[in-house]
Amino acid sequence: MSKFLLNQHLVEEDLPDSAIVLDIIRHRRGLTGTKEVCREGDCGACQVLLGKLIEGQLQYQSVNACLLPLGAVAGFHVVTIEGITVSNLTRFNKPW
């Protein structure tokens, strides 16, 4: 069971760690703003923000969801285009 925060919602997925985050976002969660285009990490249409605690501060980096395995996001904050607001990016300052 992998747990992560997707935009403002805690997500628990009982899938293999090798499942691709893009498929979870689009097909299991219905968030179609994250696009499926090349599935090779070249085009950037599937970019999401991945937030993690670094030295007590929550920091984000953009990643290609088409290359991101579910096992890599356990305990992290994944933000899609639907979830980008200042309040979403600043309110989560502690791990769950």
Query: CB within 8 A of 62, min separation 6: which ones?
Result: 47, 48, 49, 50
Predicted confidence at residue 58, as pLDDT, reads 87
pLDDT in tens, 35-92: 999 999 999 999 999 999 889 888 999 999 999 999 999 999 999 999 987 665 555 5
Q: What is the pTM of this model?
A: 0.85
Phi first, then psi: what are they for 55, rounded to 5°?
Answer: 50, 45
Whether 23 contacts 35, CB under 8 Å: no
Place of tokens 């990643």: 63
Check pLDDT > 70 for residue 96.
no
User: Rounded mean pLDDT of the chain?
Assistant: 91
pLDDT at residue 90 in the model? 56
